[in-house]
Amino acid sequence: MRFDLPEGFAGIRVVGDVHGEAAAFRAAIAGAESARLFVLQLGDLTDHGPDSPGVLAAMFALIDRRAGLFLLGNHDHKLRRALLGQPVKREAGGLDATLDQLARHPDRAALAERAVAAIAHAPAWLRWRDALFVHGGFHAAMLSEPAPAEAGARRPDGPVSRALFGQTVQGQLTEAGYPVRVIEWVDRIPAGLTVYCGHDNRSNDGRPHTAEGRRGGRAVFLDTGAGKGGHLSWIDLAA
């Protein structure tokens, strides 16, 4: 799916996983507005941090001003299912925290209704010039196929599964019980293309991590631990 930068913007501010850090997200938005940058958030708005409702409200305000959008992340997809009453695995401090924060919010009903609709329509990936934006990981089909309509309202499979969850090793789990993640997909990125993604905090110095692929492409990982003891990162791309 090709992205056309709306008129009047000088570029794009690409924001990594927010995970409930509303104050940091509002600071990223304020800086983007001052520099006339469109905000493109890479997914995982909620869970773990102190104010997931505040993050949702800030994101929806951006969308209403046509000044930003968010991609579909695995935590967003899971939140929508929970809000619809579907069975999901709830994590203490993660989804449980978000649902508790929403339950106490004065605009909880409106935020929940908007989240269900917005997550359903969030794109699973976007292409802009020599960049591809996705939450979890790259799949070659993303270069030839548009992201499915209402990917957030369907069961993830194929490239959508890669977009949400990255690349995992079937049957292998970490000590914490999560799937083992690998980034072999980086070697399949063609020369001249940069994939901007979140999902995996691969940084060892607090800054976005860049991985070079064997075909000449590269990936930039913007998850630097917001909501999990780290901080929120972003990168500005000029038009």
Which pLDDT tens digit goes with each residue over 34-65? Answer: 999 999 999 999 999 999 999 999 999 999 99
Q: Are 194 and 219 in contact (CB under 8 A)?
A: yes
> With contact defined as beta carbons under 8 Å apart, do 107 and 58 qualify?
no
Q: What pLDDT is recorded for position 216?
A: 97
Q: Identify whether the C-beta of residue 211 lies closer than 8 Å to the C-beta of residue 219.
A: yes
CATH of range 11-238; options 3.60.21.10, 3.30.43.10, 3.30.1360.200, 3.20.20.60: 3.60.21.10
* Residue 154 binned pLDDT confidence (cut-offs 50, 70, 90): very high
pTM of the shown model:
0.96
Q: Give the pairing type, strands 37-41 and 234-238.
A: unpaired
Cα-based angle 18, 56, 78 (whole degrees, multiple of 5): 75
